[in-house]
Structure 1
Amino acid sequence: MSFENLGLSSPILQAVKEKGYITPSPIQEKAIPLVLDRKDILASAQTGTGKTAGFTLPILQILSATPNQGRRKIRSLILTPTRELAAQIYDNIKEYSVYLDIKATVVFGGVNINPQISTLKNGVDILVATPGRLLDLHSQRALSLANVEILVLDEADRMLDMGFAKDIKRVLALIPERRQNLLFSATFSLEIKQLAAGILHDPEMVEASPENTTVEKIDQRVILADKGRKPSMLVKMIKEGNWEQVLVFTRTKHGANKLTEKLQKSDITSAAIHGNKSQGARTKALDDFKKGEIQVLVATDIAARGLDIPLLPHVVNYELPNVPEDYVHRIGRTGRAGATGEAVSLVCNEEYDFLRGIEKLLGQKFVRETMTGYEPIEEDEPGPTKSEHRRPQNNNFRKPNIQGGGGRSPHSGGGSSTSENKKPKKFFGRR
């Protein structure tokens, strides 16, 4: 299968070719023809599988086939949960539409609203937005959603996790009832199914991979650790492993700041990214990380869905997430575009329940490792999983061989959120 077989126009195919994409990913192969046929879809795809192109490419084709007459009106609205994801989708649209007469823009909170108002006054075809800023702009009469033909809810499960359910309902009340609806979610929880039932009309189901599975090329490791020694343990791993680019996840904003300070004191360049940081600070930290100007980016789960870092070799769960699904999104930052990657989880005694929840979600049992001098104070894991599959103590941390797979496919690239400290939610399991 090639992009030429999907029914895309020559200008789009040229842009895709210049991006270096050769073969479509499974989600693109399944979703693009359905979107072109103007079907509503409910799609599930694990992070890093290229679902952004799965909806942006056909939307661009549909809109370019019947261009706006006169002043441009918003014909496609793409809602996302975070600023980073919104910005990334917008960047993808710009790259894919380089040979089309399509204008897009992105709006999100944390930045001055006036430039966004000015851009909208000039008219756009596609608007990428976070819910809060979109509603702010509508309340100021800076935009109209009366001409929306295609609605996309991207990372819908994350939007619900972040408390955007009421905002989504408000947005739905502002757009025409007759429209095409595309709902993308990494998980199909009960809440997502209920949301889909109220929005989608006779939808096609698209599932590119089993729900909540992780990328096969990610080497997942679990190292049992003493909580108080985690900082020095991480420093040792980074320095002795010669890790040059590491994305580290913590559960809280305060924890991210505290760990960043400890890394900096150990002469490891690092920066934190979370909901309390200004958009300018978040953008700079991410850009510096991508450029290699900082070695470690410490993030909360607000960043798990919206970061696209090519060939990122290492992800570290400094603290396990208390929502099992978030583990999938975190480690999905590595192992992208056919490359291999490594995801290491440092697990202390109080996180054993979180670990078991992740194992239940994935349907797999992780090997438990230890590192000499950093073992948990209570050596054995309590309960039925007591040290069942422990590797020998290991002080060597390897640097994975990063190799791209065959053809390269495009992959999906805000306001602050209280979800970074959310309570565990009920696990509904797989469909």
Structure 2
Amino acid sequence: MTFKDLNLIPEILKALNKENYTTPTPIQEQAIPAVLAGRDLFGCAQTGTGKTAAFALPIVQLLNEQQARTQAQRRIRSLILTPTRELALQIAENMQAYSQFTPLRNAAIVGGVSQKAQERSLSQGPDILIATPGRLIDLMNQKQINLQYVQILVLDEADRMLDMGFIHDVKKIIAQMPSKRQTLFFSATMPPEISKMVKSLLVDPVKVEITPVSSTVDRIEQSVYLVDQENKQKQLNHLLRDDLIASALVFTRTKHGADRVVRALTKVGISAQAIHGNKSQNARQLALSNFKSGVTRVLVATDIAARGIDIEELSHVINFNLPNIAETYVHRIGRTGRAGMSGTAISFCEGEEIPYLKDIEKLIGKTIPEVKDHPYPMLGLAQPSKAGGASTAGGSKPAKARTHPTLKPKSERYPRASKTSR
């Protein structure tokens, strides 16, 4: 299937061609026709599946056709709510690319920066507004934003907004919109609160579920190192001495932990920067830009700050701390192995994280191979159980040990592939 088969207008097809997007992803194939038909939509999809274009392309088409018919005064006709600044800016960048051959205007409203420039964007009359809840509420309270003409609402990364405590802000925002509207709802996971929101906000929605959360990308090579907490940094330094690790996104549990890892890496001559909620917006954007351009080899991030990070040819994801929510592991490692490329996911597991490892293996339905041949093995601890919770003490075969994951030449790790939209 091609984008032309989805009945997209020439202006959008021209933009996609300019951006070198050729093949729609599964979620785009299913979502775009439904949104163009005016249906509410619930998309359950992980990061990296192309969901931004799945809602952005039909929004551009619907609003552009309406603009051409009515020549009405510019008003905010579509609102895209997203939990983090990085993700909002990424969506705004994509939206600008998709709408570049239409007269539509887009604006991004995010916290952490001066609102003066955002006020100027609002004064020009955007058709599409991409916003984080906190800054949007601020500007609504200042009477600078009117949402009573919104026709299409997008709630992106709804589960993360719930985790970050934005759910009450989201409800306040929705209360200022017309009750009759088209709503597009995207979430990577389905906790009970999200199910409740779907039932209350969507009317007879089309459901699109892509890549169940229990699955991981087959082309991602996964491994785990059992290592005591005090040796994790030494193990990371040791791994990163290998120049074949071209770029690494390292996940820590806390903001302070991310800063500690960066300081330790810098001390041994490895270029690294951190990205987390305590950093200013400018500092976060600079760190991300340096990482994308190759100036910085290692980006250390917390889960919340990593939402919206979209990096092509990311060779490695390293879990310095295993997440306590198994689904988060799937989202983390999904940062690599995108767009037909291969990737490597390495995890460090200390004693207190063994239960997290068991949960992850149960979710993905397989044992993550353990690397035993390394300088900092964990001392005095039994092996983790097999996937699904079976204990090795009960007669199950232990996980197959292996040495350092084989790093293939870059030409093999990154086969050329047609670029798909994000």
What band does the TM-score fall into relative to the shorter chain? over 0.9
Alignment map for 1:307-386 (pairs within 5 Å): 307-381=309-383, 384-386=390-392
Superposition map of 1:90-239 within 5 A: 90-239=92-241
Q: Is the 8 A contact 1:186 1:212 kept in 2?
A: no
SS of corresponding position for 1:34: helix
* Structure 2 match to 1:402: 413
- Pairing of 1:10-29 with structure 2 (within 5 A): 10-29=10-29
SS at 2:241 equivalent = helix
- Distance in 2, matches of 1:202 and 1:247, equals 40
What runs of 5+ residues in structure 2 fail to find an aligned partner? none
Instruction: Give the residue type in structure 2 aligned to 1:306.
Output: G
**Does the 8 Å contact 1:305/1:329 carry over to 2?**
no
* CA shift for structure 1 position 180: 0.2
1:218, CA displacement in angstroms?
1.1
CA separation of 1:142 and 1:218: change in aligned 2, threshold 3 A: same
CA deviation digits over 1:347-394, x for unaligned, max 9? 111100111111222222222222332111124236653484334452
- Structure with larger RCO (C-alpha < 8 A, sep 6+): 1
Instruction: Describe the shift of the 1:139–1:366 C-alpha distance in structure 2 as closer, same or farther (beyond 3 A).
Output: same
In structure 2, the partner of 1:262 is 264
Per-residue deviation, residues 13-43 of structure 1 (Å, max 9, x unmatched) = 0111111111110000000000000000111
Kept in 2, the 8 Å contact 1:108–1:130? The answer is yes
- Summarize deviations over 1:47-75 as a string: whole Å, max 9, x none: 11111000000000000001163541000
Counterpart contact for 1:121–1:143, Cα < 8 Å: no
Paired residue for 1:33?
A: 33
C-alpha distance in 2, partners of 1:291/1:97? 25
Partners of 2:107 and 2:214 in 1: CA distance: 31
Q: 8 Å contact 1:237–1:397 — kept in the other structure?
A: no
CA gap of 1:345–1:30, structure 2 versus 1, over 3 A, is same
**2:81 counterpart of 1:84:** no
Work out whether residues 304 and 329 of structure 1, in 8 Å CA contact, stay in contact via their aligned partners in 2. no
Tell me, in whole angstroms, the C-alpha distance in 1 between the residues paired with 2:398 and 2:242: 25
Q: Residue deviations 1:276-329, cap 9 Å, x none?
A: 111010000000000110110000011332100011110000100112121111
Residue identity opposite 2:391 in structure 1? T
Q: Per the alignment, do residues 8 and 145 of structure 1 end up closer, same or farther by CA in structure 2, a change over 3 Å counting? A: same
Contact 1:304 / 1:326 at 8 angstroms: preserved in 2?
A: no
> SS in structure 2 opposite 1:78?
strand
Q: Is the 8 A contact 1:322 1:354 kept in 2?
A: yes
CA distance in 2, matches of 1:404, 1:173: 48
* Aligned residue in 2 for 1:8: 8
What secondary structure, in the 3-state scheme, does the structure 2 residue paired with 1:115 have? helix
Q: Distance in 2 between matches of 1:205 and 1:96?
A: 24
**Displacement over 4 Å in runs of 4+:** none
Distance in 1 (CA, whole Å) between partners of 2:374 and 2:120 is 59
Q: Which has the larger displacement, 23-32 or 110-119? A: 110-119
Structure 1 residue 405 displacement after superposition: 6.1
Question: Compared with structure 1, are the counterparts of its residues 390 and 158 closer, same or farther at alpha carbon in structure 2 (3 Å cutoff)?
Answer: same
User: In structure 2, what is the Cα distance between the partners aligned to 1:29 and 1:297?
Assistant: 33
1:15 partner letter? A
Partner of 1:135: helix, strand, or coil? helix
Contact 2:367 2:399 in 1 (8 A): no
Counterpart residue number, 1:389: 398
Counterpart of 2:407, as a letter, is R
1:153 Cα deviation from its structure 2 partner = 0.5
Q: In the aligned structure 2, how far is the partner of 1:198 from the partner of 1:233?
A: 48
Aligned residues: 411
Cα distance change on mapping 1:338 and 1:405 into 2, 3 Å: farther
Distance of aligned partners of 1:199 and 1:404 in 2 relative to their CA distance in 1, 3 Å threshold = farther
Distance in 1 (alpha carbons) for counterparts of 2:123 and 2:319: 44
Distance 1:361 1:10 in 2: 43
The aligned residue for residue 418 of structure 1 is none
In structure 2, C-alpha distance between the alignment counterparts of 1:64 and 1:70, rounded to whole Å: 11
Aligned AA (1:151): L
Cross-structure match for 1:415: none
Query: Which sits farther off after the overlay, 401-410 or 14-23?
Result: 401-410
Deviates more, 1:221-230 or 1:83-92: 221-230
**Secondary structure of 1:90's aligned partner:** helix
Matched position secondary structure for 1:240: coil
- Tell me the distance in 2 between the aligned counterparts of 1:133 and 1:386: 51
- In structure 2, how many angstroms separate the alpha carbons of the residues matched to 1:391 and 1:120? 58
Partner AA of 2:211 in structure 1: S
Q: Distance in 2 between matches of 1:363 and 1:148?
A: 43
CA distance in 2, matches of 1:11, 1:5: 15
* Root mean square deviation of aligned Cα: 1.6
TM-score scaled by structure 1? Answer: 0.92
Distance 1:349-1:237 versus aligned 2 partners, 3 A rule: same
The CA deviation at 1:191 is 1.7
**1:113 Cα offset (Å):** 1.1
1:61 is aligned to: 61
Deviations 1:224-253 (CA, angstroms, capped at 9, x unpaired): 112211111111111125312110000001
- Contact kept? 1:44, 1:207, Cα under 8 Å: yes
Using the alignment, how far apart are the partners of 2:373 and 2:125 within structure 1? Answer: 58
| Secondary structure at the counterpart of residue 182 of structure 1 | strand
- 5+ residue gaps, structure 1, are 412-431
Percent of aligned positions that are identical: 47
Question: CA 1:7–1:253 in structure 2 vs 1: closer, same or farther (change >3 Å)?
Answer: same
